[in-house]
Structure 1
Amino acid sequence: MAGPGAGEKVQIKSYKHNGKLHRVWESTTVLKGTKSEIIGANDKTFVRESDGRTWTTREPAICYFHAKYWFNVIGMLRGDGIYYYCNISSPFIFEHQTIKYIDYDLDVKVYPDMTYDLLDEDEYDEHKKLMNYPVVLDHILYSNMDYLLQWIRQRTGPFAPEFVDQWYERFLTYR
């Protein structure tokens, strides 16, 4: 699997464990693409939900995907700072100009001061029973959650102080 090239437009599709499509982001500009890591950006991007609802993102965002880690990170540039939304998910795959992953409901919202909230644990527990997640998957997801929280506390990876701003500046060159 080769990664997409810088400047390419791709879709992002999230699925649920049972294979059903969950959400589609119509257009994201690739800023860095390798077989193991994709960094993309979008702004005012059209999004389709599985139930047919649609909406458009409100602010520029830098998206970070890795083929090794069971999470992805979206850094949203807002007037009062950078907010992060982190999805506990399968590692991404890239095929047919599309970044694909399985969303496992657990999320972390990170505020500009780097405090954070864990979200949707009840939804995860419900889907874990409904879709019969294997015990090993539960361990993988919570282990990666711990790793993600370590990155947040240590301000590494996409949480490094200049990460989002530097990639946003690169995004502006493609507009």
Structure 2
Amino acid sequence: MDGVEPGAKIQIKSYKHNGNIHRVWDTTTILKGTSNVVIGANDKTIVTESDGRNWVTREPAICYFHAEYWFNIIGMLRDDGIYYYCNISSPFVFEKGAVKYIDYDLDVKVFPDMTYILLDEDEYEVHRHEMDYPKELDGILWRNVEYLLRWIRQRKGPFSPEFVDQWYELYLTYRS
């Protein structure tokens, strides 16, 4: 896929259901790019919020996007282990040098011991009504929460013990 060759630098752009930009990660290094999966990495990258406020990520992260699943997964390498932040979102598209997706508010935070919590259900309900999410979309999103939780419990994909470490090792070769 053009522009997603390993080593390429891209942006990650998150939108809301109404089309408004939500958040932009300035620079992510592509580690794997196909029409179905994009795996990238970043460290100390600038993130711009919809209100123009900027902040910088604190630790290296491996980002996993899939074209069929309604979630994406960020594995953050911290001193005390790997933490995951999972966004319930539309499947990604790659366009104009950026991975793009719609963020649907629901998030799952996973701790190094693989316990997890579902976050932002209240924010989801507010936006579901404000932006008039179709009933079918609501069903798709909740089914994908269940898929994601199953992946976590089964240590599947990005949650397998070696996944983040292996991709991080590859990322380090692009940083030297």
Cα distance in 2 for partners of 1:139, 1:5 equals 34
Q: Which runs of 5+ in 1 are unaligned?
A: none
2:12, 2:98 within 8 Å by CA — same for their partners in 1? yes
Please name the residue that 1:51 is paired with: 51
- Aligned counterparts of 2:52 and 2:67: Cα–Cα separation in 1: 29
Q: CA separation in 2, counterparts of 1:52 and 1:127?
A: 21
Q: What SS does structure 2 have at the residue aligned with 1:28?
A: strand
Aligned equivalent of 1:142: 142
Q: Distance in 2 between matches of 1:90 and 1:29?
A: 21
The Cα RMSD (Å) is 0.8
Counterparts of residues 9-88 of structure 1 (less than 5 Å): 9-88=9-88
Partner secondary structure for residue 173 of structure 1: helix
Compute the TM-score of the two structures, normalised by the length of structure 1: 0.99
Shift of 1:79: 0.2
Identity %: 73
Question: Residue 65 of structure 1 contacts residue 91 of structure 1 at CA under 8 Å; is this kept in 2?
Answer: yes
Q: Which residue of 2 aligns with 1:173?
A: 173
Contact 1:2 1:35 in 2 (8 A): no
- For residues 103 and 92 of structure 1, do their structure 2 counterparts lie closer, same or farther at Cα, with a shift above 3 Å needed? same
Unaligned 5+ runs, structure 2: none
Runs of 4+ that moved beyond 6 A: none
Task: State the TM-score, normalized to the length of structure 2.
Answer: 0.98
Question: Matched residues in 1 for 2:53 and 2:98: separation?
Answer: 21
Structure 2 distance, partners of 1:49, 1:95, is 20
The residue identity in structure 2 corresponding to 1:147 is Y
| Count of residues paired in the alignment | 175
Deviation at 1:2, TM superposition (A): 4.9
Structure 1 residue aligned with 2:105 = 105
Confirm or deny: 8 A CA contact 1:73 1:85 kept in the other structure: yes
- CA deviation profile, 1:121-150 (whole Å, cap 9, x unmatched): 000000000000000000000001100000
Q: 1:124 and 2:120 equivalent?
A: no
